[in-house]
């Protein structure tokens, strides 16, 4: 029986490349001359740590990271920017977590949309992925189209098509 998985994963190496290019771009910008701005990626915990002097530079760094991610083919929606920045002496710091896997709320929304479409498929939640199976490949492609149209605030990949 044909099936595929809906997942939300970010390639750590591609993300590291995007962060490194963004760092170089920031160092070469005129408005960042003599600034104490730093961008670090913790590959183990998948957290981007940003340290800079004020909000304007923080926003410029985040914009630079977003643009580099898009150029590398990564979706910036995988960044969890909900945590506010905080002051630490003369600088402000912000930690941005990279989302891996589909969260429960988003998974429920995806499953509800699949069921509401009345397409004859079976969808089940397996840890942080959703497995969709059907007798017809056309039905699976219809589910893919529904998931692409939906706004789930996370990037979705369709993997393991069998």
Domains present along the chain, CATH in parentheses:
3-8+101-159 (3.30.70.860), 12-98 (3.30.70.990)
The pLDDT confidence band at residue 160, using thresholds 50, 70 and 90, is: confident
Instruction: Report, as an integer, the average pLDDT of 23-51.
Output: 89
**By C-alpha distance, which of 98, 101, 103, 59 is closest to 78?**
98
**What is the pTM for the complete model shown?**
0.84
Q: What is the pLDDT of residue 93?
A: 93
pLDDT tens digits, residue range 59-103?
999 999 999 999 999 999 999 988 888 888 889 999 999 999 898
The answer to whether residue 14 scores a pLDDT higher than 90 is yes
* 108-142 tens-digit pLDDT: 999 999 888 888 999 898 888 999 999 989 888 98
pLDDT surpassing 90 at residue 33: no
What is the pLDDT at residue 27?
84
- Identify the bridge partners of residue 42 per DSSP, sorted by sequence position: 47
Query: Two tokens at 15?
Result: 């993300």
37 pLDDT exceeds 90?
no
The pair phi, psi for residue 47, each rounded to 5°, is -130, 130
> Contact at 8 Å (CB) between 27 and 35?
no
DSSP-derived letter for residue 99 is P
Return all residues near 23 (Cβ < 8 A) that are at least 6 apart. Answer: 39
């Amino acid at each position: 029986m044909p099936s595929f998985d809906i997942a939300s994963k970010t390639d750590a190496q591609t993300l590291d490349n995007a962060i490194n290019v963004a760092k170089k771009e920031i160092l070469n910008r005129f408005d960042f001359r003599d600034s104490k701005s730093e961008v670090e990626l913790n590959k183990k915990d998948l957290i981007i740590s940003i340290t800079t002097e004020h909000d304007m530079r923080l926003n410029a760094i985040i914009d630079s990271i977003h643009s580099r991610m898009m150029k590398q083919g990564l979706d910036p929606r995988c960044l969890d920017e909900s945590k506010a920045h905080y002051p630490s002496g003369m600088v402000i710091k912000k930690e941005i977590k990279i989302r891996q896997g589909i969260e429960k709320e988003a998974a429920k929304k995806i499953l509800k949309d699949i069921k509401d479409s009345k397409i004859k498929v079976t969808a089940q939640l397996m840890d942080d992925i959703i497995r969709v199976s059907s007798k017809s490949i056309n039905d699976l492609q219809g589910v893919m189209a529904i998931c692409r149209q939906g706004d789930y605030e996370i990037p979705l990949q369709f993997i393991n098509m069998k």
